[in-house]
Amino acid sequence: MTDTTAAPPSPAASGSAPFLLGDAMTGGYGSADILHGCTLAVEKGEIAVIVGPNGAGKSTAMKAVFGMLNLRRGQVLLDGQDITRLSPQDRVRLGMGFVPQTHNIFTSMTVEENLEMGAFIRTDDYSGTMAQVYDLFPILRDKRHQAAGELSGGQRQQVAVGRALMTQPKVLMLDEPTAGVSPIVMDELFDRIIEVARTGISILMVEQNARQALEIADKGYVLVQGANRYTDTGAALLADPDVRKSFLGG
């Protein structure tokens, strides 16, 4: 168990940076810092989960990695390349996909049109990728001509994840993918996320359902007030009595 109340050592300093690394990130909106030396790292095909209390800076940390927040200190590396100053659009072109918690689909468009919008940066034939998305989420094939706004919450999340996969990302970032869905739908979404990771795509995910998310996580980060509090494997965090008592309800 790594209690990182003190600043953790920089993974970049070791000379072999993880596939995706947000290193010692400090920044916020306006003049106030929300992140304070926060570090997140994900290897290829790994699921990393960010958990913590409300207001801990979890979604802010995700947005910082995706370039939606100006960092005052720290850096973001993708496959060894410094992308700290790149726009979110440029990061998508380098292989990053981001699914926000809300407003993540075009409700008036059909399911298939939403997926086609996800392929906006591609100039090749993306029909094979769409077939893979339909294999991953069979219900979307059945409803491909239906307006996405008519779907259930869980099905909308499948559309949002599927649209991100249409860009053929190397890294998929999910902000509260199971928010507002039933426990059964949550389990199904987590199963699909595991399948995505098995294809070699790195997953970085923010989750309020901390216990369930850590069960599928290769790596977990507990943030408190914008800083790393604990970093370890998902299993180790679940087993730690301090983490359980403070963040998992006992």
Mind listing the pLDDT tens digit for each residue in 139-156?
999 999 999 999 999 999
Query: Once rounded to an integer, what is the mean pLDDT over residues 171-184?
Result: 94
Dihedral, 140, 142, 144, 145 alpha carbons, nearest 10:
-150
Asked whether 48 and 214 are in contact (CB, 8 A), the reply is no
Residues 6+ apart with CB under 8 A from 121: 92, 93, 167
Select from 128, 113, 135, 137 the least CA-distant residue to 168.
Answer: 128
Asked whether the predicted pLDDT for residue 15 surpasses 70, the reply is no
Domains in the chain, please, with CATH?
1-95+171-176+201-250 (3.40.50.300)
CA distances from 4 to 82, 94, 219, 224, 229 (A): 24, 30, 14, 11, 5
Kindly report the average pLDDT of the chain as a whole number.
93
pLDDT band at 4 (very low <50, low <70, confident <90, very high): low
> pTM of the prediction?
0.91
User: What is the rounded distance in angstroms from the CA atom of residue 99 to the CA atom of residue 235?
Assistant: 25
Mind listing the pLDDT tens digit for each residue in 118-147?
999 899 999 999 999 999 999 999 999 999
Mind listing the pLDDT tens digit for each residue in 193-239?
999 999 999 999 999 999 999 999 999 999 999 999 999 999 999 99
pLDDT the model gives residue 92: 95
Q: Is the alpha carbon torsion for 229, 182, 180, 204 positive or negative?
A: positive
Residues 6+ apart with CB under 8 A from 175: 59, 62, 98, 99, 100, 101, 205, 206
SS3 224: strand
User: What is the rounded distance in angstroms from the CA atom of residue 153 to the CA atom of residue 189?
Assistant: 11
Q: How many helices (H) and strands (E) does the chain have?
A: 10, 11
Residues 6+ apart with CB under 8 A from 31: none
